[in-house]
Amino acid sequence: MKKKRVKIKDIIDRDDENPFKRFLPPVDDHLIQMIADVEKGKLPRRTTTVRLVDVDVHHSPTLATARAGLVEEPSLHGIHAELVKDMLAKRPTWIVYRAENGRLVMFDDYLAYVVAQEIGLEWVNVQILGEARP
């Protein structure tokens, strides 16, 4: 029996009941292809530490939604506290890509990005898609 191929975009789009979906940026076909190519070994990735101020976000309106949600929604206060604890304890690694202007762009965890800014985190761990180790 032949296996049906599952597209990454289908996986991302299928979770319509996810209450955190509003904190995810819109699906970008180029970005999805880049992720798929990294996972298949067609593109390199490297892990490093960078200054938070050197990381932009993929979709500014989603960042504004995340920032407002953490402030205005009582249901997210517990999540906020957990994010702060995790951020201080183990500094999660964000997935980023390098934009045409050379800036690093994060697209995977807008809530954590807001919390990192709030607590004054200076350095973050990132995996840069499409870049090999120097």
User: What digits encode the pLDDT tens for the residues 71-126?
Assistant: 887 777 778 888 888 888 887 789 899 999 999 999 878 888 988 999 999 999 99
8 Å CB contact between 52 and 117: yes
Asked, for residue 118, whether it belongs to a domain, the answer is yes
Evaluate whether residue 104 is within a structural domain.
Answer: yes
Residue 134 lies in a domain: no
In a domain, 122, yes or no: yes
22-71: pLDDT as tens digits: 556 666 788 888 888 988 999 999 999 999 999 999 888 888 888 888 88
Confidence of residue 7 (pLDDT cuts 50, 70, 90): very low
Domain region containing 64? 28-129
**Confidence band for 21, pLDDT divided at 50, 70 and 90:** low
Q: Is the pTM of this model over 0.85?
A: no
Q: Cα(87)–Cα(40) distance, rounded to whole angstroms?
A: 29
* Helix, strand, coil shares, percent, the chain, to 5: 45, 20, 35
Number of domains in the chain: 1
Domain contains 8: no
Q: For residues 23 and 45, what is the distance between their CA atoms, to the nearest angstrom?
A: 25
For residue 12, is pLDDT > 50? no
Q: How many CB atoms lie within 10 A of CB 44?
A: 13
The CATH number of residue 104's host domain is: 3.90.1530
Q: What is the pLDDT of residue 49?
A: 95
Higher pLDDT: 50 or 3? It is 50
Can you tell me which residue has the tokens 């949600």?
69
